[in-house]
Amino acid sequence: MPIAPAIIRECRREDVPEVLRLWATSGASNTPTDTVEDVERAVSAPGLEFLVAEADGHVVGTIMGGFDGWRGAISRLAVVESHRRQGIGRALLDEAMARFADNGVKVVGALGEKD
């Protein structure tokens, strides 16, 4: 069965449980601020782009990044294993970069881990 194409959109509060499950199962590191309450606050935080990829009514990818006026940073990018290698990560990154540019960001970095 073919996988439905993903729609890139802003994260909503009701997405948070799925986002946390995705982070926990995708190899994205968990931090002390990965609580439902903290992630719900991030959904509407100024200076933060928090996007999801949705397919068949489920979150299959997410990206989070912040900016301070001229500099941006991607801090989270994750895609459900069954939806990898379909361009979802690229689509999330492209949308985040476009939003950064719309907000005057000139330089973007990414935070990563050794593993």
Strand arrangement, sheet containing 48-55? 7-10, 48-55, 58-67, 71-79, 107-110
CA distance 107 to 115: 25
Q: Do the domain assignments include residue 115?
A: no
Whole-model pTM?
Answer: 0.84
DSSP H or E run through 100? helix 88-102
Residue-wise pLDDT tens digits, 5-51: 789 999 999 999 999 999 888 776 666 667 788 888 888 887 788 99
List the Cα angle 80/85/91 in 5-degree steps. 80
Task: Give how many domains the chain has, as a whole number.
Answer: 1
Domain limits for position 86 = 7-110
pLDDT of residue 1: 45
Any domain includes 87: yes
Domain presence at residue 1: no
pLDDT for the residue 49: 87
Q: Residue 73 belongs to a domain with what CATH number?
A: 3.40.630.30
Whether 11 and 50 have beta carbons less than 8 Å apart is answered as yes
Among the listed ranges 1-5, 22-26, 102-106, which one has the minimum average pLDDT value? 1-5
78: Cβ contacts below 8 Å, ≥ 6 apart: 22, 23, 26, 27, 28, 61, 62, 63
The string of pLDDT tens digits covering residues 41-71 is 888 887 788 999 999 999 999 999 888 878 8
